[in-house]
Protein backbone atom coordinates (compact mmCIF):
# COMPACT_ATOMS: atom_id res chain seq x y z
CA UNK A 1 0.00 0.00 0.00
CA UNK A 2 2.81 2.37 0.84
CA UNK A 3 4.37 1.82 -2.59
CA UNK A 4 1.07 2.70 -4.32
CA UNK A 5 0.63 5.82 -2.19
CA UNK A 6 4.12 6.99 -3.13
CA UNK A 7 3.44 6.32 -6.83
CA UNK A 8 0.08 8.11 -6.71
CA UNK A 9 1.66 11.11 -5.00
CA UNK A 10 4.24 11.32 -7.77
CA UNK A 11 1.73 10.95 -10.61
CA UNK A 12 -1.05 13.22 -9.41
CA UNK A 13 0.76 16.55 -9.96
CA UNK A 14 1.65 15.51 -13.52
CA UNK A 15 -1.96 14.53 -14.22
CA UNK A 16 -3.21 17.85 -12.82
CA UNK A 17 -0.81 19.87 -14.98
CA UNK A 18 -1.77 17.87 -18.06
CA UNK A 19 -5.49 18.48 -17.49
CA UNK A 20 -4.88 22.13 -16.76
CA UNK A 21 -2.90 22.59 -19.97
CA UNK A 22 -5.57 20.81 -22.00
CA UNK A 23 -8.34 23.15 -20.82
CA UNK A 24 -6.44 26.46 -20.93
CA UNK A 25 -6.55 27.23 -24.67
CA UNK A 26 -5.16 30.49 -25.98
CA UNK A 27 -7.82 32.80 -27.43
CA UNK A 28 -8.08 33.43 -31.14
CA UNK A 29 -7.31 37.11 -31.80
CA UNK A 30 -8.99 38.87 -34.73
CA UNK A 31 -8.39 42.42 -35.96
CA UNK A 32 -11.17 44.25 -37.78
CA UNK A 33 -11.65 47.73 -39.21
CA UNK A 34 -15.17 49.16 -39.43
CA UNK A 35 -16.86 52.40 -40.46
CA UNK A 36 -18.29 54.55 -37.68
CA UNK A 37 -21.99 53.89 -37.07
CA UNK A 38 -22.21 51.02 -39.58
CA UNK A 39 -23.52 47.60 -38.57
CA UNK A 40 -20.68 45.20 -39.46
CA UNK A 41 -20.16 41.43 -39.10
CA UNK A 42 -16.80 41.26 -37.30
CA UNK A 43 -16.67 37.51 -36.60
CA UNK A 44 -18.34 34.25 -37.61
CA UNK A 45 -18.70 30.90 -35.89
CA UNK A 46 -19.72 27.90 -37.94
CA UNK A 47 -19.40 24.15 -37.40
CA UNK A 48 -20.43 21.52 -39.94
CA UNK A 49 -20.64 17.80 -40.59
CA UNK A 50 -18.86 16.01 -43.46
CA UNK A 51 -21.97 16.48 -45.63
CA UNK A 52 -21.75 20.27 -45.04
CA UNK A 53 -24.86 20.33 -42.84
CA UNK A 54 -24.58 22.73 -39.90
CA UNK A 55 -23.78 21.66 -36.34
CA UNK A 56 -25.46 23.89 -33.79
CA UNK A 57 -23.24 26.41 -32.03
CA UNK A 58 -23.76 28.68 -29.04
CA UNK A 59 -21.98 32.04 -29.07
CA UNK A 60 -21.85 34.06 -25.86
CA UNK A 61 -20.38 37.55 -25.61
CA UNK A 62 -18.20 37.35 -22.50
CA UNK A 63 -16.96 40.96 -22.58
CA UNK A 64 -19.06 43.44 -24.53
CA UNK A 65 -17.46 46.41 -26.30
CA UNK A 66 -17.00 49.54 -24.19
CA UNK A 67 -18.02 52.00 -26.93
CA UNK A 68 -20.36 50.24 -29.35
CA UNK A 69 -22.84 47.38 -29.26
CA UNK A 70 -22.36 43.73 -30.14
CA UNK A 71 -25.06 41.22 -30.99
CA UNK A 72 -25.11 37.60 -32.10
CA UNK A 73 -27.36 36.52 -34.94
CA UNK A 74 -27.94 33.52 -37.21
CA UNK A 75 -26.42 33.76 -40.66
CA UNK A 76 -24.89 31.91 -43.59
CA UNK A 77 -21.09 31.79 -43.27
CA UNK A 78 -18.56 30.69 -45.89
CA UNK A 79 -16.51 27.59 -45.02
CA UNK A 80 -12.82 28.46 -44.89
CA UNK A 81 -10.04 26.26 -46.22
CA UNK A 82 -8.33 26.20 -42.79
CA UNK A 83 -10.92 25.81 -40.02
CA UNK A 84 -9.87 25.84 -36.36
CA UNK A 85 -11.49 22.43 -35.77
CA UNK A 86 -11.55 19.47 -38.18
CA UNK A 87 -11.16 19.77 -41.93
CA UNK A 88 -13.17 21.67 -44.49
CA UNK A 89 -13.15 18.86 -47.10
CA UNK A 90 -15.84 19.20 -49.75
CA UNK A 91 -17.41 22.12 -47.87
CA UNK A 92 -14.79 24.76 -48.83
CA UNK A 93 -16.47 27.75 -50.44
CA UNK A 94 -19.98 26.64 -49.47
CA UNK A 95 -22.10 28.60 -47.03
CA UNK A 96 -23.26 26.92 -43.83
CA UNK A 97 -25.63 28.38 -41.26
CA UNK A 98 -23.95 29.47 -38.05
CA UNK A 99 -23.57 32.52 -35.86
CA UNK A 100 -22.33 36.01 -36.69
CA UNK A 101 -21.02 38.59 -34.22
CA UNK A 102 -22.22 42.03 -35.32
CA UNK A 103 -20.71 45.30 -34.08
CA UNK A 104 -21.97 48.88 -34.34
CA UNK A 105 -20.23 51.96 -32.92
CA UNK A 106 -22.00 55.20 -32.08
CA UNK A 107 -22.23 57.48 -35.13
CA UNK A 108 -19.20 59.76 -35.23
CA UNK A 109 -17.06 57.64 -32.88
CA UNK A 110 -13.53 56.99 -34.11
CA UNK A 111 -11.11 54.87 -32.11
CA UNK A 112 -10.61 51.40 -30.71
CA UNK A 113 -12.99 48.84 -29.22
CA UNK A 114 -12.79 45.17 -28.18
CA UNK A 115 -15.25 42.27 -27.99
CA UNK A 116 -14.57 38.94 -26.28
CA UNK A 117 -16.80 35.95 -26.97
CA UNK A 118 -16.95 32.20 -26.49
CA UNK A 119 -18.11 29.76 -29.14
CA UNK A 120 -19.14 26.18 -28.23
CA UNK A 121 -20.39 23.63 -30.75
CA UNK A 122 -22.90 20.88 -30.00
CA UNK A 123 -19.91 18.50 -30.26
CA UNK A 124 -18.15 20.33 -27.39
CA UNK A 125 -15.58 22.17 -29.52
CA UNK A 126 -14.82 25.43 -27.71
CA UNK A 127 -13.07 28.59 -28.80
CA UNK A 128 -12.45 31.88 -27.01
CA UNK A 129 -12.14 34.85 -29.35
CA UNK A 130 -10.94 38.43 -28.91
CA UNK A 131 -11.95 40.88 -31.66
CA UNK A 132 -9.87 44.07 -31.73
CA UNK A 133 -11.82 46.72 -33.64
CA UNK A 134 -10.61 49.96 -35.20
CA UNK A 135 -13.50 52.33 -35.90
CA UNK A 136 -12.84 54.81 -38.73
pLDDT of residue 86: 61
Q: Are strands 28-34 and 126-135 parallel, antiparallel or unpaired?
A: parallel
Whole-number Å distance between alpha carbons of 57 and 47:
7
pTM: 0.77
Close Cβ partners of 35 (under 8 Å, ≥ 6 residues apart):
135, 136
Model confidence over 8-18: pLDDT tens digits? 444 333 333 32
Residue 113 Cα distances to 46, 51, 70, angstroms = 24, 37, 11
Residues 6+ apart with CB under 8 A from 32: 40, 42, 43, 103, 131, 132, 133, 134
Mean pLDDT of 61-89: 87
Quick: pLDDT tens for 87-109.
667 888 899 999 999 999 999 99
* Residue 34: closest CA among 116, 133, 115: 133
Which tens digits make up the pLDDT trace of 30-67? 999 999 999 999 999 988 888 888 989 999 999 999 99
CATH 2.60.40 fits 26-135, yes or no: yes
Sequence ranges of the domains in the chain: 26-135
- Residue 20 pLDDT class (50, 70, 90 cuts): very low
pLDDT at 85 (0 to 100): 63
Amino acid sequence: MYQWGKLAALCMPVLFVTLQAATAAEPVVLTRSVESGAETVVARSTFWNSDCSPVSVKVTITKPPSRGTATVREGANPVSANPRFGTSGQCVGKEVMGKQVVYRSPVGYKGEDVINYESVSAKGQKSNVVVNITVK
